[in-house]
Chain A
Amino acid sequence: MTQKPTLTDEAPAVRSAPKPPRPPRRLGVRQVLTALRTFVRSQPLGAAALLLICFFVFVAVFAPLVAPYDPVQQFRRDILEPPSGTYLFGTDDLGRDVLSRTIYGAQTSLLIGVVTTGVSLVLGTAIGVVSGYFGRALDVVVQRVMDSVQAIPGIVLLLFIAVILGPSVRNTIIALTVVITPSFNRIARAETLRVRQEPYVEAARATGAHAPRILALHVLPNLLASVLTLGSLIFAGVIIAESALSFLGIGAPPPTPSWGLMLSEGVRYVERAPWLIIVPSIALSIAVFSFNLLGDALRDHLDPRLQRRALDRVTGLWWGRRMLSRLAPSLSRAADKN
C-alpha cells in the first residue's frame, strides 16, 4: 500500500444530532404526481396516449351519462340515418344511435380488457415466477405446456374455445385468458431468470432468507416494470381479439354493444351507410393505438433495457426472450452492460 488513507469519505462519519427522518409514505398523492410529471417529461407521446386512455375509461364508466341515447333503443323511423344534429354519428339498420352504441362499446371492450388482462397477468406472472425461480423438472413441464398453448395461433385457439363454450362476455374472457396467460408467464419467467442471478438475490440467500421472501421482496418488485409494460401491450391485443371474436359472431352476443359486432352488422351497408363501419373502426383503432403507444412509452420510460423486447409486442406472439436473445444477441449483450 503506497498511500496512507484516512477515513474522510464521501459521507462524513460523524454527524450532529442524528435524528432519523420520517419514513416517506409509500404511495401518496405527491408520489403519484411526481411519477406522472417525470413520465410526461420523458415520454410526451405516451402521456398523450395516457390522456386518451383516461378519456376512454371516463366515457366507458360514465356511459349512461355521456351517451345521448340508450344503445339498444330502436328508432324505427330513423333507420340508416346519416350523421346529423340529432344522431351525431347516424343510426344503424335497426335505427339505433351509432354514437351511443360506440360509447357503450367502449364499456364492453374495457370490461373484457381489464378482466382478461388482470386475471392473466396475475396468473401468468405467478406461474412464470415460480417456474423460473425453482427451475428443474417443474420448469420443464410447465414451460412445455405453455409452449404448446402458444404454438396454436391465437385466433384459432380463441375460435375453438369461444365456440365450444358458446358466445357470451364471460366465455370471451375465459378464452382470451387461456390464450394470453402464457405471454405473461414467458416474460415473468425470463425476468425471474435474470433477477435470480443478481447479487442482491444471492445476498438475500446468504442471509438465510426463505424463497417466498425472496420472491416477494426481491424478484417481484424487479420484474413488475416488464410485466406492466407487457400488460399495456396485451391490453391492446385483447381489445383487437375481442372485436375480432364478436365480428365473427362468437364473442359478445347481440344486442350487446360491441365494436366488433357493430362492424359485422355494418358490412352489409358499406355503400349506403359507411358511418356504420367508419365510426367503430376509428374508436377501435384509437383505443388500440393508445394502449400500444402507452406500452411503448412505458417500456422506454421504466427500463431502457426492455427495448430489446420490442419484438415481443411487434409480432403479437410474445414467443419470448429466448427467441429474442437469439434474434439480437448483440443487442441483449449491449443492454446487459448498462
Chain B
Amino acid sequence: MSQLLLDVNALTMRFGGLVAVNGVNLKIKNRQIVSVIGPNGAGKTTVFNCLSGFYIPSDGSVLFKGEQIAGLKDFHISRKGLVRTFQHVRLFSNMTVIENMLVAQHRHLNTNLLSGLLKTASYRRLEQESMDRAAFWLEEVDMLAFANREAGNLSYGQQRRLEIARCMVTQPELLLLDEPAAGLNPNETKQLDELIVRLRDEHEISVLLIEHDMSLVMGISDHIYVIAQGTPLADGSADEIKNNSDVIKAYLGEE
C-alpha cells in the first residue's frame, strides 16, 4: 500500500459545548480527487479550517505525508504543501492579478533584503522565475490577458479561477477547494470541472473538494465522504453514495 497523502483520524472540533465536527476520518492518496458533501451546517468548512490550521482541532490526528500537522500554525501548514481556497473569494482586490500571484510566491522569492535592494543578479533571476511561474499558471486558468488588471475588477468567475491559480503557484501537493463552483454559471462550472481534473492528471496533485453542485461532485470524485451534523455518515464511490439510503435520508428527510 502506498503511503497516504492525507490521513485524518477521529478529527473532532468543539466550540464550548457545541460539537461541530465529531470523529471525522478522511483518507486521500496521491493524485486523487476526494469530495466532502453534506447538508448546510454539517461542519464541512470547519473540517477545512481544522486541516488548514485556522482552527486547532480539539481531538484527533491529521497526518500529512506521514507527519502530524494538527496544531501547527496556518502558514506552516501551507508551506508544507497543503493550500486552501475560501468559500467567499479572498483576493488582494486592490492589487493586480500578477501581484496576487507574486505575493503567493513570497516564500520562494524572499531572499535576503540586501540583494533585493541592490537588485543583484541572483535576485533578478529568482524574480524572473517567479514571473514565469505566475505566467504559466495564469495561462492554465486562461487569465493571462488580465495579468495587469486589478483583481477586484474581475468578474466573479475570473476571481474564482485566479484564487485557484494563486494557490497552485505555491506548488502545493494537496489543494483544498471550499465550494469552488458557488456562484458560477453552468458554462464556468464545466470549465472548473475540466480544470480540477487537469490538476490531478497533468499536474499530479490531489484535491479535496467541498461542493454542493452534485453533478460536479459525482462526475469527478474518486472518493466521496458524507458528513451530517458533524458526524461521518458514509463514504464510498459516487455510485455507492448515490444509492446509500442514509445519505438520501439526510438530504431529503425520511419518507
Are A and B co-members of a single complex?
A: no
